[in-house]
Structure 1
Amino acid sequence: MNNIRSITFIEVSLVSSGINESNAADVIHDLRRQMRRMENKMGAIEAQMRNKDVENAKLEGQLAILKKADRIRSLILGQATPTMEERQMLNAIES
């Protein structure tokens, strides 16, 4: 809707500035075409951003898994002491 108002304003401006109607129509047609192109490009950029967001979420999930695996490795090798919560989980598993 905003685009239509802009085009209408441009039409009035072009005609009132002395450009004949056929030239104004050509200019308006070209502007509309350019706007459609820009909207298509914006849609493509938005799709790329959504894809990047999905990739980032996957990477964050993988990082969380790697951190947990590193913590388990440290516990197994005796390089870290278990927290109270980890002790409770170990006790629950053992019983």
Structure 2
Amino acid sequence: MREIDEQSEVGALYMRSLMRTQLRLGVLVVLLVCGPLAALPVLFSLLPLTKTVVVLGLPLPWLVLGFAVYPVVVLVGCYYVWRVERTEREFADLVEQS
């Protein structure tokens, strides 16, 4: 912890490593959520059958966007929080050991 407080070369290296790890995780989460979510309108356009399918009185695209997307977003969010907390614990342990 002293290296970080004193802003030494080693402390800067530790911080860059932590930030790089968190950036990688953030990009992964964005790709896992935004990629499939952005592909849904394309999928609905390419498969016109999806517009005509009605389930429980609602068109299929509405059901997918209204009910299937949110559990995925919540699960990915939970994964993100779990990984960030784990990364920070590992970082704190690493800094304390040195």
Greater share of residues in strand = 2
The normalised TM-score by structure 2 is: 0.46
**Which TM-score applies when normalising by structure 1?**
0.47
